[in-house]
Chain A
Amino acid sequence: MIHHLLVRILICRGKQRSPDSTKMVEMLFQQNTRQNGRPMVGPYRENNINTRRGDQWSPAQYKILVYNNRILKVRKMIVDKIKKREPSAKNKTSNIDIPVGKWIKCDKCKEIVYKDDVRENLSICPNCGHYFRMHINRRLKMILDEDTYKKFDINIDTNNPLEIEEYPKKLKALREKTGLQEAVACGTGKINGEEVVICVMDSGFMMGSMGVVVGEKITYAIEQAIALKLPLIIFCVSGGARMQEGIISLMQMAKTTAALTKLDEAGGLYISVLTDPTYGGVTASFASLGDIVLAEPGAMIGFAGQRVIEQTIGESLPEGFQTAEFLLEHGFIDKIVERKDLKETLYKLIQYHKGGSGNV
């Protein structure tokens, strides 16, 4: 966590402190940033005394805070240097937690934060609490019990129905870059011992868009949930139907939706988890059709994109429009669940649906 940063900063400044004082600082930072083994939100923040209600700060921790402020100033200088050196870092890193080098810029607070700190913190910005988008592998690790994920044996690829020359090239490049075959991973796994069918989408792969591969894999997963009599959980993140496959992508909305009618009739439980962002044809199909629809805080969720709406109505959109909180208020999701509570919440919900006619 932050002590790495501190040491790094001191090294950078060419003024490494004596081993003793470094050790002390490390220890105090550990106290400062971790509580009950859980990383705390906000250790970078200058006024972080009030960031968490009910936190009791010891005198030693206050000392650290003062020290922290000094570190922050030094850090800012370094960050400024990095910004100058890597002017493209902003575009490359965007909101996705695949950082350029060791640093990543938070889209919300615009701070450049240390990549490992974000990863250790469930891909949440340690500065402002903003949720970064998660790679499939990290999401699976977060939700499933260790070594329980078994991916379905379904290896398919698009036929490139519109014969767009650049499309296969783009897919190939993305496969190399992300280590993913497509924008969704499907398989079975366990949540606190409860076996489930799980699908996780990834915004890093063509914005999680749904073409024939995503549509077929989701449909297959739904069919497996019926056959294996297991609950189905889909983590949604998507810009919508995939342009490059034209009408074939659009038809995947009907395909996945039709498959869900079968799961419904079989009495199976389907929990849809909406993460940032979930839009278009995915919102207008399986994402909205969960028996229970959960969402992560602050996730952007909608049918039409914000720019399209602005152009149509000719005015700017109200604050908080299309956020998970907005959808909750308007009755379209059941519950907003913090990332740290997702696994436990899913487990509890599954327990409530046992003993029905269906798949749990």
Chain B
Amino acid sequence: MAVYKRTYRGYSGAITPSWSRFLVLFRFSRETLFRSKVQTAFFVLCFFFPLLCLLGIYANAHLSVFSFLGRRSEPLLNINGQFFFTYLTVQSTLSFILAAFIGPGLVSPDLANGALTLYLCRPLSRTEYVLGKMSVLVIVLSWITWVPGLLLFAVQASLSGWQWLADNLWIATGIVWGSFIWILILSLLSLALSAWVKWRIAAGGLLLATFWVGAGFAQAINAVLRTKQGYLLDVGNLVAAIWHGLFRDGVNMGFSVTEAWIALLAFCGFCLLLLMRKVKANEVIR
């Protein structure tokens, strides 16, 4: 009998349930995530604007306090769909930059160091790997988008009463949905880029370029072909169109929300395809 057979005993303790196993990857990444000081500082900075909004909402509700100063008591701010649209625009820009910092470092080092194969040797499927890596971005970006957004909404609701809440519940849905769409797109794109571009930094640059050059080319299409459909190539614009729909502020981007959805789905599908092709190449056939 081989020696190892006599002495080797496999691990038989408790294991993470398979449904939540992908979160193991999040726990791995969490440790390295905030090691960079610049990154941490930037993350903290992302809470500045929500704080400002909170002050605005608060001041708005207690305007009566200031009325003795002789000011007219018309509302300082209109807390409506447009207010939250602005909130989301600012926060999404910040989350875009944050994603450009974090995203590329997720898959590319695994590919460069051959760790992907090691991961997939474990009882961890391709999908779970992608989910796990994506959860890092989703969780971190959630913290600066819809979580404070909902908080703001809750504060406003508590200040304005049940009627306001009942009338404006769609805003809350808009915040959550709007954020999730953006986060999903950012994470898919940055994971796909990070899987194809081994050099971490170049992947970050490419993420920026995808948005900038995409926006520029969209404008070029509009100018040359005398259309507005070019914006369908501009991911930022697509998401903005969907947000306008969600927040019901009646702004028309020149194409319908349905078109925007189709274009976005196609874009996400393409990213997923890119990502899966690269991950699949490293899978160990069991």
Whether chain B is bound by chain A comes out as: no
